[in-house]
């Protein structure tokens, strides 16, 4: 059984002491590939994911300005993102979106930065990785304004209605450890109804470790627990979830991206 962790932050300082061991544990658990999300601490450093992916054959990367860091974006930020998106291991723009829970950046600034990055993704025809929290109406409206090269609703936090709306826009739905939490009933309901060919799994490591690791630092090896929960919810073997989510990831970012870019270092 092989899996892909479609979203992790292994650049986080929580991994400084044992990052290579974490990667080895993921491989031993059957995680054949990981997407290193390249938001880091925000502009001007936009290369967090690329640095990791360039040094590890099992990784690809994304680049983007996360909504928390939207206030750090400058006109030159978008030129730099365009340059970085041409790097061999970059397969997506993200994570980008809106977060009205914390409002670390003002909502109007978040929307402006989100819109600029959606324009860039359309220009480059790359899929987008979406972060949305307490901002579903604005997020879905902005995503629907023009076609995109697909994308992922990362760490899905909605219910069946939000899932249906996201699917209608052509998005994949990625479930993280939250789906294993006993009280996450709307998320679990969505997990039952998303078509098999639109499912993804992720850790969002080091955050949101799944049961039975809840409360600990999350890591890519734990994505197995999320896959097991999805299998339980849908009444299918975990191997079916693993095979489908792996194929879905490869299809989303391009077979060449996985077969060639995972082996490419600069």
Pairwise CA distance, residues 212 & 174, whole Å: 19
Residue 64: pLDDT over 50: yes
Average pLDDT, stretch 69-92? 97
Residue 87: pLDDT over 80: yes
Per the prediction, the chain carries an average pLDDT of: 95
- What's the pLDDT at 38? 87
Dihedral, CA of residue 113, residue 119, residue 121 and residue 122, to nearest 10: 160
Do 53 and 84 touch, CB atoms closer than 8 A?
no
What range defines the domain where residue 243 resides?
3-263
The per-residue pLDDT for range 40-59, each reduced to its tens digit, is 899 999 999 999 999 999 99
CATH number at residue 87: 3.20.20.140
Q: How confident is the model at residue 262 (pLDDT cuts 50, 70, 90)?
A: low
- What's the pLDDT at 256? 42
Q: In this structure, what token pair is assigned to residue 142? A: 């902005």
Query: How many domains are there within the chain?
Result: 1
pTM: 0.94
Q: What percent of the chain has pLDDT over 70?
A: 95
Residue 151: pLDDT over 60: yes
Average pLDDT, stretch 117-139? 97
- What's the pLDDT at 147? 94
Average pLDDT, stretch 237-252? 97
DSSP state of 206: T
Q: In what order do the strands lie in the sheet with 199-201?
A: 3-8, 31-36, 59-63, 90-99, 128-133, 151-153, 172-175, 199-201
């Amino acid at each position: 059984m092989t899996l892909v962790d479609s979203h992790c932050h292994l650049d986080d300082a929580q991994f400084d002491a044992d990052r290579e061991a974490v990667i080895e544990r993921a491989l031993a658990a059957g995680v054949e590939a990981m997407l290193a999300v390249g938001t880091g601490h925000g502009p001007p450093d936009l290369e967090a994911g690329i640095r990791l992916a360039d040094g590890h054959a099992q990784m690809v990367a994304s680049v983007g300005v996360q909504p928390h860091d939207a206030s750090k974006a400058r006109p030159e930020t978008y030129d730099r993102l365009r340059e970085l998106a041409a790097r061999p291991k970059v397969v997506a723009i993200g994570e980008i979106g809106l977060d009205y829970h914390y409002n670390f950046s003002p909502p109007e600034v978040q929307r402006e930065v989100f819109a600029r990055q959606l324009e860039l993704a359309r220009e480059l025809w790359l899929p987008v990785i979406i972060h949305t929290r307490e901002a579903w109406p604005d997020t879905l409206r902005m995503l629907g304004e023009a076609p995109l090269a697909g994308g992922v609703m990362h760490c899905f936090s909605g219910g069946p209605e939000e899932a249906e709306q996201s699917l209608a826009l052509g998005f994949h739905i990625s479930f993280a450890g939250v789906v294993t939490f006993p009280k996450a009933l709307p998320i679990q309901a969505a997990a039952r109804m998303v078509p098999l060919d639109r499912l993804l799994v992720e850790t969002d490591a080091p955050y949101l470790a799944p049961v039975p690791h809840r409360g600990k630092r999350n890591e890519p090896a734990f994505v197995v627990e999320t896959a097991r929960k999805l299998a339980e919810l849908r009444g299918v073997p975990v191997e079916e979830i693993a095979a489908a989510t792996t194929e879905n990831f490869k299809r989303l970012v391009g077979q060449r991206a996985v077969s060639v870019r995972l082996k490419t270092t600069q």
